[in-house]
């Protein structure tokens, strides 16, 4: 069985999507439609911008979504996935490819999500760090001892877990984790504490937008970050998508569950190869490839 997977924030690069735009007339139409929906030229930022532009959450998220969805529509050689999943932001790409969301509605929600998250970062200055070389449960236990907001955010693969929190919380957690045996704790270049309680203002804003958006039954199960379980019920998909902003991304369990349910081939659509690397660490026996 074939699974399609879609990356989240961090995979962006200047020039992303230009080849698709230049070589596929349908891709060009989709990119131009995106410029119209967003009210600014995202193609200009993606194709000719500078790194700092692409690191702005309100640019990064729609850019990665567009690259992922358009590359899948243009390059999947008419393969139909048996299941899909996306890491964080990538869940929106997965929902569009599975037919649960239209391209236009998906882009609007991603844009609203990005703007809401950017505002939440201003309200609660915060960040993220990645912890390597320590058992997931031990990281969680150490975080619980810190007298500040800091918690697991992305369960990426065995031995790699991202944490989110206030800057003070991350500083204290970093010291405690290193003392407890973590190989490395590295601050990430992101705008805030994604997938943590500090994103609550963004979650409330996104909830309104999601509730007003029409979702369809997907053509295949969508494995969602919040539960790591397959879902096809549009109402449950919406609820899980809302909860995703303040809850950790259960990526390790997601991939394990997909393999348990028959996935033998994973194809990553979008910029970068981050998910391919993580999947190889989670399930070394499966076939992994990427298209962008």
**Known catalytic membership, residue 88:** yes
**Known catalytic membership, residue 289:** no
For residues 227 and 217, give the distance between their C-alpha atoms in angstroms, rounded to a whole number.
Answer: 18
For residues 92 and 148, give the distance between their C-alpha atoms in angstroms, rounded to a whole number.
Answer: 31
Active-site pick, 67, 68, 87, 88:
88
Around 144, how many Cα atoms within 13 Å sit in the side-chain half-sphere? 6
| Residue whose tokens read 């993580």 | 278
Ramachandran bin of 270, using left for φ above 0, alpha for ψ from -120 to 50, beta for the remaining angles: left
Residue pair 165/150 in contact by the 8 Å Cβ criterion? yes
Helix (H) and strand (E) counts for the chain?
13, 10
Residue pair 231/94 in contact by the 8 Å Cβ criterion? no
Locate 194 and state its tokens: 């994604």
CA-wise closest residue to 139 among 157, 125, 118: 157
Active-site pick, 67, 87, 195, 292:
195
Catalytically active residues, by annotation: 88, 195
């Amino acid at each position: 069985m074939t699974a399609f997977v879609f990356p989240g924030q961090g995979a962006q690069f200047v020039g992303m999507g230009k080849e698709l735009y230049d070589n596929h007339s349908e891709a060009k139409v989709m990119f131009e439609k995106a410029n119209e929906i967003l009210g600014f030229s995202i193609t200009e930022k993606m194709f000719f911008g500078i790194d700092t532009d692409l690191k702005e959450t309100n640019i990064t998220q729609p850019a990665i979504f567009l690259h992922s969805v358009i590359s899948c529509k243009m390059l999947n050689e008419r393969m139909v996935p048996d299941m899909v999943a996306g890491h964080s932001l990538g869940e929106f790409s997965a929902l569009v490819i599975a037919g649960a969301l239209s391209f236009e509605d998906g882009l609007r929600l991603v844009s609203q999500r990005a703007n809401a998250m950017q505002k939440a970062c201003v309200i609660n200055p915060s960040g993220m760090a990645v912890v390597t070389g320590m058992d997931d449960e031990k990281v969680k236990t150490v975080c619980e001892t810190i007298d500040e907001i800091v918690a697991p955010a992305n369960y990426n693969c065995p031995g790699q877990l991202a944490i989110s929190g206030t800057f003070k919380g991350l500083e204290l957690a970093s010291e405690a984790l290193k003392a407890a045996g973590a190989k490395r704790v590295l601050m990430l270049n992101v705008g805030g504490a994604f997938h943590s309680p500090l994103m609550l203002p963004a979650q409330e804003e996104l909830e309104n937008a999601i509730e007003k958006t029409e979702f369809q039954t997907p053509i295949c199960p969508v494995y969602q970050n919040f539960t790591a379980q397959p879902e096809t019920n549009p109402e449950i998909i919406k609820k899980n998508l809302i909860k995703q902003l303040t809850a950790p991304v259960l990526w390790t369990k997601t991939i394990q569950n997909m393999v348990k349910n028959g996935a033998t081939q994973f194809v990553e659509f979008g910029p970068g190869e981050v998910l391919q690397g993580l999947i190889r660490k989670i399930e070394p026996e499966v076939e992994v490839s990427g298209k962008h």
